[in-house]
Amino acid sequence: MKPYVLGIDIGGTNTVFGLVDARGAVIASGSIKTRKHSDFNAYIEELHAAAMQLIEANDAVDKVHGIGIGAPNANYFTGTIEEGVNLPWPTPLPLAKIVSEKFGIPVAVTNDANAAAIGEMTYGAARGMKDFIMITLGTGVGSGIVINGQVVYGHDGFAGELGHMIVKRNNGRLCGCGRTGCLEAYCSATGVARSAREFLEVSPLEPSLLRNIPINEITSKDVYDAAMQGDKIAKDIFEYTGTILGEAMADMMVFSSPSAFVLFGGLAKSGELLLKPLRNAMEKNMLGCFKGKAKVLLSELKEADAAVLGASALGWEAKAPDVPAGASTPVLP
């Protein structure tokens, strides 16, 4: 087997790529701006040129086994980026096909949270685990579910949208998906910022460091900083956020009984501020037979490498597309 894979993480702002070996070492990496080209072909030209430069500089031409790509709304089964995603190109977009043709290398794609789960299973906190749930706490809440060693894709490739479990059935917050009460509306970074605005408005007489910041500019980082200084409202917000997430995780448990949850993303770095109420609520709401069984772990991948590592791990399972009889095998340009 060829010794390297190329991992590509297409984010809303940056596209990061890296050459990775079988032990998960990122040999070299680079990035381009995702939004520079509104024409997808121009974007792919730049990505190809930059990645090939990296590959050539590391003497890896003809040594790349596969390319793994993590991208929002990317579907493992169809290889496309589906509709409803905040990227500058028309959708559905046949990502795997275009990249595979351009590089002459097999490509596998999946959404960013599934890529993170694969990375964690291959190189991170979930090494050796067959059943775990990855929860990414970023601008939104994403998830990658692993059962019996395999990522759950469902019948259509869209499984694992746990950020859209309904946690407030009545009078829930409006979610970006158009419904109300989703987990994501409470436990994402933006959800924490919304909680800050709510808590400050509901208790106008309670002093808080957060009142020094214009209310519409408060971020989850501001809430964290205030909580670390002992601010009561900020600590209450983490209590509220962790409790909702812990309750939801107890419900996830009855579905697939994972041996661990792995948390990733900015909010996961809040440490015990988030984890303490989360664990309390999870165990308090846990069905008897599951009590004390599921670990709550933090990602062990360096944030700078995590997206690329996760995507790259998928590159090992990329397969060349079925080539019609008589067609020539694609070659590196």
Residues that bind a second copy (CB under 8 A): 82, 84, 129-131, 145, 147-148, 150, 152-162, 164-169, 177-179, 247, 250-252, 254-259, 285, 287-290, 293
Nearest to a second copy of 104, 176 (CB atom): 176
**Shortest Å distance, C-beta 161 to a second copy:** 4
Nearest to a second copy of 258, 310 (CB atom): 258
Nearest to a second copy of 19, 250 (CB atom): 250
118, 110 contact by CB (below 8 A): yes
**Shortest Å distance, C-beta 83 to a second copy:** 8
Nearest to a second copy of 31, 256 (CB atom): 256
111, 68 contact by CB (below 8 A): no
Identity at 313, one-letter amino acid code: A
Buried b (16+ CB within 10 A) or exposed e, 59-90: ebeeebbbbbbbbbbbbbebbbbbeebebebe
**Shortest Å distance, C-beta 222 to a second copy:** 28
**Shortest Å distance, C-beta 246 to a second copy:** 12
DSSP assignment of 190-210, as one string?
HHHHHHHHHHHHH-TTS--GG
Residue 112 burial (CB < 10 Å; 0-12/13-18/19+)? buried
**Shortest Å distance, C-beta 288 to a second copy:** 6
Nearest to a second copy of 129, 298 (CB atom): 129
d(CA 15, CA 20): 16
